[in-house]
Amino acid sequence: MLTQTKNRSLWLLFWGIFITSTIIAQDKKIILKGTIYDEVNETVPFVTVGIVNKTIGTASTEDGEFALMITPTELTDTLYVSSLGFDTFRMKVQDYLDSKERKIVLKESVVSLDAVVLLKPKDYMENALKSLKNNTLSKKPHVKEILYRRFASEDGKAKFFVENYIKYKDRGPAYWMGRFQVKEARKSVDYRFWKHTQWKHSIEYMSEVNPIRPGDSFHKRNLKKFEWKKTGSSSYEGEDVVILEGTNPEKSWEKMTFYVGIDNYKIYRIERGDALYIYKKHKDGKMYLSYYCNQWGFPKDKMPSNIIGTVGETLHYKAEAFVLNVITDKKKTKIKDYGLGLDMGSLDLPYHPEFWQKLNMPPDTKFYKKHKEELEGLFGVPLEKQYQLMNK
């Protein structure tokens, strides 16, 4: 009896060690890094990068670089890189890690729509809008984990920087904007002359500027009034894509460009002024937002009178959002609203350095490095120190 008890204790001890070791191994983070090029050795920006059949992913930066954080459980999975106009690149994760070169070269896809009977440009847009609910991740609420950052400059020099990690719950672009919770935040010292405060969080503007979202002045009915013309063709993961440019007949300067699949009418990319929306496929084939960027200044009639004639006149914002993950499990989609109707630079949250160190951050772009260098150069205070000073 004593021997059986001892053996059982040893077995439980061994099993506990095994489980603990397995958990530690699964929690260990591995970072996949690389730079994406085309066949003439030019970097390719805003490319979708992810793991096949998984929701984790990212987009390459404006410099064509990417960083994707995985665990050992993904080593046997497949890394994929997909972009409009190129054949999709696929490689086993372990093989990519074993390769010496962290350079991915995308091959241009061959597109020939001459033999295809195309619809009128206006018909493609109408079909894309009609199919929006079926083509996007929209049946049930889901949560996007988003890294949202905003750069502020005056007279072309960096003066303020803020980053938020957000859980954004909604039903996709076919519906009104959902809810969101800013979980983590950090910001630099605010060196702006004009400490402008937005009426709402910048991510709310991301939704409002999107022309396929309800609530936008150009949504559906108004988009149908646009005059559309085909300006080119492309492809996405084997499907031919038509490029459509729309012009507002009442405002000839108001233009936007859509990239629409000719077979399923999925929208892969939207360009509206300086705003850019990149959509990618979820593992179930539905589309969802992968990357967003925009930049804007302020007209003088929107400025306080005491700002006119000062450097505050030149205040300029640049924002971008990286969708890091999509959660569809209903049990994991609960959020606690925070940040709605508040300027993202005014949020008062504690700073947790360890969180940001573990987050799947995109590589530092040339623009980011320049912005950081200018912020640190104003008074010689490192950005990390600024985070500690300006956040709880």
- Most confident of the ranges 6-10, 23-27, 92-96, 139-143: 92-96
pLDDT of residue 218: 53
> Is the pLDDT score of 169 beyond 90?
yes
> Is the pLDDT score of 335 beyond 90?
yes
- Fill in the amino acid letter for 360: N
Cβ partners under 8 Å of residue 376, min gap 6: 382, 383, 386
> Is the pLDDT score of 162 beyond 90?
yes
pLDDT tens for 178-233 read 899 999 999 999 999 999 999 999 999 999 889 998 865 555 557 878 999 999 98
pLDDT of residue 19: 34
> Is the pLDDT score of 101 beyond 90?
no
The closest of 127, 112, 31, 111 to 79, measured between CA atoms, is 31
Longest dimension (CA), the chain: 91
Average pLDDT taken over every residue of the chain: 88
- Among 18-32, 143-157, 212-226, 261-275, the range scoring the smallest mean pLDDT is 18-32
pLDDT of residue 116: 64
* Residue extents of the structural domains in the chain: 29-105, 121-390
d(Cα 224, Cα 227) in Å, to the nearest integer? 8
Per DSSP (E only), the strands in the chain are 30-37, 48-51, 57-59, 65-70, 78-82, 89-92, 103-105, 142-154, 157-170, 179-187, 227-236, 239-248, 251-261, 267-272, 275-281, 287-297, 316-327
> Is the pLDDT score of 11 beyond 50?
no
CATH tag, 29-105: 2.60.40.1120
